[in-house]
Amino acid sequence: MKTLGLIGGMSWESTAEYYRTLNELTRARLGGLHSARLVLHSVDFADIEQLQAAGRWEEAGAVLADAARSLEAAGAELLLICTNTMHKVADQVAAAVTVPLLHLADATADAVRAAGLRRIGLLGTAFTMEQDFYRGRLASGGLDVLVPDVESRALVHRVIYEELCVGVVREEARTAYRQVIQELVAAGAEGIVLGCTEIELLVGPGDSPVPVFPTARLHAEAAVSAALAED
């Protein structure tokens, strides 16, 4: 198995889920006591969030690029950025190393197409829902992307940063997300992309009348498949 390099900590709540899922999937594939070969560089999310809020994306990208270089030096053969939003700087990170970076949006688009769907609703941080770095990547993968209205986008973003990233999971937030999902479905969404790794801590298939696509899990599945593939 190739060694996976994880750039995590954004937030550590979802990075912990990446670690668990990668190991569970590896054991399911290989059996017995097998677990994933991986190394983790976990950043301080408070520093990254400040750079996000200030629009200082190149500086944030430099932090993640340094993390990528450290992972490559530690033996990583395939890199994952364990957050959707910071794929805004994916090209900057990929350029810093010689090993491949597995893009989360590509893994997600592959799964949506495999399900035979094209028109999807996207939930995530305001950056992910409103900017082109993620929506455009999905669109280039053949998908038609819908996002919530302004008020609903603000609600989804607030819950991520003020609740999920600090480990708070409230039923009221789940109810609110269900309503946003219903609005997207009414607008024509055939599936819902949970485009923030923390959202999977709050909602799942039972909260949506259409299929949901949990991006952290899809990313982990693609990573394990790639790590176990023969060259």
User: Using CA atoms, how far apart are residues 37 and 22, in angstroms rounded to an integer?
Assistant: 9
- CA-based nearest residue to 179, from 149, 213, 201, 146: 149
196 is catalytic: yes
- Provide CB contacts within 8 A for 201, sequence distance 6+: 13, 14, 17, 164, 169
Instruction: Identify the active-site residue in 15, 21, 26, 83.
Output: 83
User: Using CA atoms, how far apart are residues 168 and 174, in angstroms rounded to an integer?
Assistant: 11
How far from chain centre, in Å, is Cα 75?
A: 23
Instruction: Identify the active-site residue in 82, 196, 197, 215.
Output: 196
User: Using CA atoms, how far apart are residues 197 and 194, in angstroms rounded to an integer?
Assistant: 7
14, 89 in Cβ contact below 8 A? no
82 is catalytic: no
Residues catalogued as catalytic: 83, 196
